Structure 1
Amino acid sequence: MKKHFKKILWLIPILLFCLYWLGIYLSLKNPMEEINYSENGGMMRNMIVKPYTQTIGSEVPWKEDEGFQTFPYSDKIVGGKEHLAVTMFRGTADWFYLYKYKLDENTSVNLIFEYKASKKIFYQSDLYLTIDETSYEGQQLLDQLAAYGKDRTWLKKQSKKVVEQYILGTWFRNGSSRYSLKHLGDMKIEYDKLIDE
């Protein structure tokens, strides 16, 4: 009886430690909180989730002494005419993503998405087209885009593809499947008014 009691006493700290980290993981209320935790969550985070930089195929490790860093997504996830990178900040979940789609050598469509932790919202904060050094927004963007046979519907599809397949979809496949596009926890997604009109 005493031997069993000693074994139980020895297991209690381990069990409490595991329950503590499980409690932290379960306290993450949406996928962006999970993503942030995977990079900023302390030493034990990798026992719960894979580091975000690994899930996006980045070969550049997070430098612990840096306040923020930008990591490109692997060409296996986003390639060809497309480029996607995330800028991550130490100590805050307010990260942003820059997506570029090259229409030709000098022209690209640029979509920027941000997560605002205080409002639990993942939103499209900017949408513009650049030709050389000149940027076009709103109706001018749509006018320039028409020359390439693309329109507002194409912009909407690209925006949803970036959010649903590249950013969140990659996390659901490679990081954590606790959330999904149908179950985002307490997070909302909002797109630019230009494509929602």
Structure 2
Amino acid sequence: MNKHFKKFLWLTPILLFCLYWLGIYLSLKNPMEEIVYSENCGVLRNLMVKPYIQTIGSDRFWDKTEGFKTIAYSKNIVSEKEYLSVTLNSDTPDWFYMYEYDLDNNATIYSNFKYDSSKKVFYQTDLYLTIDETSYEDKQLLDQLATYSKDRTWLKKQSKKVAEQYILGTWFKNGSSRYSLKNLGDMKIEYNKLIEE
């Protein structure tokens, strides 16, 4: 009996650690919570998931005491005409993603995404086209886009590619496969009303 009790005492810290780890892991209810946890939360995160910055191909370091930092995605993830970055913030889980697509030297599509942790929604906040420092939104954006042989369907495909392939897809591939596009946990994705009409 004494021998079994000593074994139990020896295993107790390991069991408690495993239960604690499992509790944290199960508390992450969607991929964005995993992403934020992978950068914001202590030593245990490395047991569950890879640091987020590594999954997007960056060799930069983020010191949480800086508050926030913008880090670009690797060109191995996005094409030469594209730029995608994430603004990490240690004060909030509501991170911000900025996307640019160069149509030509003077024209660029801008599309931004944000995670709202209170509503559990990952949504497209802005969608506009800038030509020679003039910005176009809504119907004007579509009219200008037509001069580049692109339309609302192209815009929708591009927006979905950014959210579902570049941002979330990269996480599912390089970070954690616990969630997927078919299983986003308690999170929803919402796109700009212009491409949903």
Normalising by structure 1, what TM-score?
A: 0.97
**Aligned counterparts, 1:70-149, within 5 A:** 70-149=70-149
Q: Which runs of 5+ in 2 are unaligned?
A: none
Which residue in the other structure is 2:60 paired with? 60
Q: Which runs of 5+ in 1 are unaligned?
A: none
CA deviation vs aligned residue, 1:89-135 (integer Å, no higher than 9, x gap): 10311011111110011111011011000000000110000113211
**Aligned counterparts, 1:154-193, within 5 A:** 154-193=154-193
CA distance in 2, matches of 1:171, 1:143: 35
Q: Does the 8 Å contact 2:40/2:64 carry over to 1?
A: no
CA distance in 1, matches of 2:103, 2:27: 42
CA deviation vs aligned residue, 1:35-81 (integer Å, no higher than 9, x gap): 00001112221111111000001111111321111110011011210
Letter paired with 2:43: M
CA distance in 2, matches of 1:79, 1:12: 51
How many equivalent residue pairs?
197
**Aligned counterparts, 1:25-44, within 5 A:** 25-44=25-44
3-state DSSP class of the match of 1:65? helix
CA distance in 1, matches of 2:3, 2:100: 64
CA distance in 2, matches of 1:79, 1:11: 51
Which residue in the other structure is 1:196 paired with? 196
Which residue in the other structure is 1:48 paired with? 48
Letter paired with 1:132: D
Q: Does the 8 Å contact 1:40/1:91 carry over to 2?
A: no
CA distance in 1, matches of 2:194, 2:33: 28
CA deviation vs aligned residue, 1:12-47 (integer Å, no higher than 9, x gap): 111101210111111111000000000111222111
Aligned-residue RMSD, C-alpha: 1.0
Q: Does the 8 Å contact 1:97/1:114 carry over to 2?
A: yes
**Percentage of matched positions with identical amino acids:** 73
CA distance in 2, matches of 1:15, 1:54: 30
3-state DSSP class of the match of 1:128? strand
Letter paired with 2:182: K
Normalising by structure 2, what TM-score?
A: 0.97
3-state DSSP class of the match of 2:125? strand
CA distance in 2, matches of 1:94, 1:154: 28
